[in-house]
Chains A and B, each alone.
Chain A
Amino acid sequence: MIRLLHRIFPHPHLTFLLTVVWVLLANNLTLNSVVFGLILGIIIPFITQPYWPDRPKLRNWPMVVEYILVVLWDIVVANVTVARIILFKRDADRQPAWICVPLELRTPEAITVLAGTITMTPGTVSSDLSAQGHNLLVHCLDAPDPNAVRDQIKSRYERRLKEIFE
């Protein structure tokens, strides 16, 4: 029975997410949109299942909420920091740097989320992954102390993602 459910709903979170997205797209909460959203939410994961065989297990739901809030707050701070660097710092004083962040995460989904988060937050863009996926190459807009940036990424984001995914 559970295996049958697993075959019909390979990614239950995705089903839920697609339904919510469809209702938001329709922009009114009626039975019509919910039912059609559910239909899409069941069909799309079913069709895409062969391309995404393992689903990541989310272990720690309160941590997911905490992570989203931390990242949203950091994005607001990031905007102000970057705006200040662009407007008030002379281009010659800026110290752009490449840094290498050794990854403890192994789940592809977790690394994707980490790389996306790094791009969206203070003065950093994730640029490349090492050949076997053990390190992440990050470019900093202004990093007088590259080690501090690396430690912040590891303690602020990677630690939380590790608790969520692994």
Chain B
Amino acid sequence: MGFIFELLIAFFLVVSGIFGFVGSYGMIKLKDPMSRLHAPTKATTLGVGGVLLASICHSILIEEHLSLHELLITLFLFLTAPITALFIAKWHIHRHEKPKDLPDAGEDELWATHAVEQVEDVPEHSKS
């Protein structure tokens, strides 16, 4: 029985390793900054999730006591990952996108990042 448990834990570890690797590889392969943002926000959720599942399984099946504070890591990750992504995205819009490059914002006319900045404020070196 112990062998099956170990197999299960090893499976989760391998899955998390693969997704962690894909997330990092995506950072190299994808070329534009906005697409790069996708790799770490997604592929790493399952990457970290796999390790945490393996950790929970290990404590329940092998050490035979319940340990659930791994769930908290998932919770905090779900709270912080979108905020980090939003900050980087807003930085990108602020520095590299003009209002006319983005889709129409409907009745509000401008996206929030553009609504508070002067467009002329973009420094010379970041103009392409």
Contact = CB atoms under 8 A, between A and B. Distances in A.
Given A25-B69, A98-B103, A86 B90 contact: no
Given A119-B86, A128-B111, A131-B112, A24 B72 contact: yes
Nearest to B83: A116
B37 A21 contact: no
B10 interface: no
B39 A82 contact: yes
Interface stretch (A2-10, A40-48, A58-66, A132-140): A132-140
Contacts, number: 133
B34 to A, nearest CB: 5
A128 B22 contact: no
* Secondary structure dominating the interface of B: helix
Interface string B79-114: 101100110011011000000001111111111110
B5 interface: no
A119 B42 CA distance: 8
In which size bucket is the chain B interface? 35 or more
Interface of B: 18-19, 22, 25-26, 29-32, 34-35, 37-39, 41-43, 45-46, 67-69, 71-72, 75, 78-79, 81-82, 85-86, 89-90, 92-93, 102-113, 115
Given A86-B26, A100-B104, A133-B112, 12 more contacts: A24-B71, A78-B42, A83-B22, A87-B22, A91-B31, A102-B106, A122-B42, A127-B86, A128-B90, A130-B108, A132-B107, A139-B89
Interface of A: 21, 24-25, 27, 75-76, 78-79, 82-83, 86-87, 91, 94, 96, 98-100, 102, 115-116, 119-120, 122-123, 125-135, 137, 139, 141
30 contacts: A24-B71, A25-B72, A75-B45, A79-B43, A82-B26, A82-B38, A82-B43, A86-B22, A86-B29, A86-B39, A96-B32, A100-B104, A100-B105, A116-B82, A120-B81, A120-B82, A125-B34, A125-B89, A126-B86, A128-B90, A128-B93, A128-B112, A130-B109, A132-B107, A132-B108, A133-B108, A135-B106, A137-B111, A139-B38, A139-B89
